[in-house]
Amino acid sequence: MHILYLWHLLSLFLLGLPSANLAAVLAIDYGSDWIKASLMKPGVPFDVLLNKDSKRKIQSSVGWKRDDRLFGGDAFNMASRFPSDSFSSLKLLQAAPYDSEAVSYYTTISTAQVTETIRHTTALKQSSGTEWSVEELIAMQLAYVKNLAEAVAGEKVYDVILTVPAYYSQFERDAVADAIEIAGLRTLALMNDGSAVAVNYAMTRTFATPEFHIIYDAGASSIRATLVSFSTDSKTPTTQITVHGVGYDRGVGGTELDRRVREILADQFVSKYGKDIWKDKRGMAKLWKEAGRVKSILSANTEAISHVESLAFDIDFRSKVTRAQFEDACDDLKSRFVQPIIDAMTNSKISSDKLVSVIFTGGSTRVPMVQAAVKTLVGEDKIALNVNADEAAVLGAALHGASLSRQFKTKDIKLADILAHDVQASYLAAPAAEGTKTRTITTLIFPAGSKVNSKKTLTFKRKEDFSIHFDYKSPVAPGFPTQLLEVEFTGVAEALGNLTERGAINNVVKATVQLSESGFISVTEAIATGDITDDSITGKFKGFFGGGLTDSVDEETVSAGSETPIESDTSSSSTSMSSSASSPTETSSIPIKSADPKVLKDLGTIKLNFTSHLPTTTPMTVEEKKKARSRLRALDLEEAAKVRKEEARNALESYLYRLRDLLDDENKDTPFKKCSRPSERQAIAEKMEETFSWLHDRGDDADTSVLLDKRIALETLERPIQHRYQEIEAFPHALNNSQMWNWSTRLFLTEARQNITREMETNLPSKWTEEELDGLEKALKEHETWLNIWVERQKSVKSYEDPVIETTEMKARAKVLETHLQKLAKRRVPKPRKTTTTSSSSASTTSSTARTSGTDVPTGETKEQEIPVDASEQVPLQQAHPEEIRDEL
């Protein structure tokens, strides 16, 4: 009911917008266990996409059953049979270095074989030896969701907004963006999942006063807490969502709880049967699936019975797990369940007494011990279950994505998100004197909590080329690098020299660093700039009264060396450069007289060249993404060919069974038997048996074209029989149609000739001539003669013989007569010739004309003569529509 109301609300916003200009937006919440997706498109209900089994969420798995690729639950369930070919929980491996703890942990929960890529990240290997990078495997799943969305939208879908945890580093965000591109999609934005839930919460609510809430997301891969405030402007009604702090724990989540349950089950198996199941991949894969089921049961019951047939060593495993056992195994995790909440409040400097509620989302919030830990911290009265724990993030992301596309008009919700990690800049200072030791200067440019979609301008007093390193202050996860970006600035000395020649003073280098809405950090612009004063009288007066024309450089007092960059927030890029100062090699020393302020500003700015390098974990290169895309496209084409072959084989097999039923001796009075000769049935039976035998022996290895040819050969034998039956069925209708046009034409001719006679008697113009009516009558007689002759011949034809007259020819000849008739019937009545009267006309003529026209006409005036025509003459019966005539008959 809530979804229906929400869709009605959004539909009102979308009304009135031209559909031709609206593009579809796909939102995806990609989780470690489940994928949820939603499509925003006019005319499509705003809801979660269903998979092929009509389920609202899709297992985050891809796998192979021999040569067949599977997705979702089919791929996940295949792990028990093909443990090396089913890949799940891939979110844990996004951008993870091969030697990181994330990869080591993954090997404890998965039976897949992990390998190292040339970028020192991870790939997974099939049992066949084929390797796929994590980006490629995730791209396959995104492409699968894309196909589901396109089936609903009825058109191609390109733009996607995808949710990620707030703690994701730039390395992981790059990996997500690469997977999106390989899947054939465009990244509209990457959105923090806690913020997406906040948007979903605000969709149908207004806030009379500012409210503080914590979005507590206990998912499979981690636990996240996002502290947000909601406020509504009473004048505009705009809802403002501001993120104040985040907290997280990467090592606690539903996956870790499943692992603890599996350990309990495995230990029970070993103790009961004395066999080491840990080394059996299929057995461990079966236990992993069973652990998830047992955990879900324990969320609602105090004990669960586990039963796995032929778990390992031909043993049917059966055991009991109690909630107390489960909670004892997870005792060391209980304090970690609430630590993200404490961290979020600490980072935002907001106390718990200001919290209105803790909003639960994520599947692991259903686990009783997780709920109990949070209730102990904040109180049971602050626990809120007013969003859909599984779908809130994807629905919120869909609405936010629609607002970003600028193609939709939605509820005005503004979001201000933050960065979760400290980002600092460092570079080598210029030596104060020759032979002195070089030192590194470091400054924090984006501390944790900085607003996304913002810029910082760094100012440097440098005279030579230099480089800046952008790093995380501390590792974002164990084993992950801290170095983000290295930017090298060139042409500094030459640019500063040119500024000096132009008369500039206080020359510095400025670099603009951007933190995008999706959480990416990059340098967008670098310039050399200085102050150029106006030497004119006007300029001097302006300078005297404080009206200088140039921007001042806001510098702090720094220690010796004075290379520490001065940071300043800005909403736009630094001073732009005019075409006259576009090159650092350009020189100008002309005096400035009465210059325009913009000209002075442009002369005091020169753009610098800079190049960016990724020193550690790099995203995929363009060539690597092209290669990956080609691999996936080849796989898609191969699977499409398999589908076409399977469809052709199934169609041939179904056709053979249908023919066998038609030839069955028990069916004696069927239309097929009546319309076929014994020799034809014999030929079809022999061909059918031959094809059956071929299909059984060689059908699996045959090409699609051969399968189609086999069916065409059989259809060629059956087609004459079908044609006879179709002609017998269509003949009565075609004959009635022909006779109807004969009757209509004859009726038209009778009425038309009567009209011509009356019109000649009254000296009125006629619509037709005698020659035209004679021509129509000739066509009518020819059609009647041909129809009578061939209908008589057709009556003597047996049902198993080919017709002597085709219904297509009957329709064509009737159409010729119909066209001839309609051409005359639709002709309009010609206008009568105009007559004029003069002042010398007799009074009797004038009065007669007046009586005829029904209007008093003054003497000396002229008026067109109008002769009333009877309605039956204007629209004769033969002009009625053929359907109406047929109804009368």
Q: Is 810 buried (19+), middle (13-18) or exposed (0-12) by CB count in 10 A?
A: buried
Which pLDDT value is given to residue 883? 41
If phi over 0 gives left and psi between -120 and 50 gives alpha, with beta otherwise, what is residue 274? left
Which pLDDT value is given to residue 765? 84
Backbone angles phi, psi at 137, to 5 degrees: -65, -40
Which pLDDT value is given to residue 139? 97
Q: Please identify which residue in the block is written with the tokens 């010739």.
A: 833
Rounded distance, CA 385 to CA 375, Å?
13
Which pLDDT value is given to residue 839? 44
CA atoms within 13 A on the CB side of 423: 27
Helix (H), strand (E) at residue 658 = helix 622-662
Delimit the domains of the chain by residue range: 2-254+333-416, 423-620, 624-832
Q: Taking the CB of residue 224, how many other CB atoms lie within 10 A of it?
A: 29
Which pLDDT value is given to residue 352? 86
- CATH class of segment(s) 2-254+333-416: alpha beta
CATH topology of domain 624-832: Substrate Binding Domain Of Dnak; Chain:A; Domain 2 (1.20.1270)
With b for 16 or more beta-carbon neighbours within 10 A and e for fewer, the 182-195 pattern comes to: bbbbebbbbbbbbb
Q: Which stretches in the chain have pLDDT values below 70?
A: 1-22, 406, 431-435, 534-601, 832-889
Closest CA to 602 of 574, 578, 635: 578
Q: Is 864 buried (19+), middle (13-18) or exposed (0-12) by CB count in 10 A?
A: exposed
Contact assessment for residue 189 and residue 404, using Cβ atoms and an 8 Å cutoff: yes
Which pLDDT value is given to residue 534? 60
pLDDT digits (tens, 9 = 90+) for 824-838: 988 887 776 665 544
Q: Taking the CB of residue 568, how many other CB atoms lie within 10 A of it?
A: 13
With b for 16 or more beta-carbon neighbours within 10 A and e for fewer, the 102-136 pattern comes to: bbebbeebbbbbbeeeebebbbbbbeeeeebbbbb
Q: Taking the CB of residue 664, how many other CB atoms lie within 10 A of it?
A: 11
Rounded distance, CA 749 to CA 758, Å?
14
- pTM score, whole prediction: 0.77
Q: Is 708 buried (19+), middle (13-18) or exposed (0-12) by CB count in 10 A?
A: middle
66: helix, strand or coil: coil
Contact assessment for residue 243 and residue 255, using Cβ atoms and an 8 Å cutoff: no
Q: What is the 3-state secondary structure (H, E, C) of 724-741?
A: HHHHHHHHHHHHHHHHHH
Rounded distance, CA 69 to CA 64, Å?
4
Rounded distance, CA 659 to CA 673, Å?
12
Contact assessment for residue 188 and residue 176, using Cβ atoms and an 8 Å cutoff: no
pLDDT digits (tens, 9 = 90+) for 178-191: 999 999 999 999 99
CA atoms within 13 A on the CB side of 689: 6
Strand 483-490 with 466-472, pairing: antiparallel
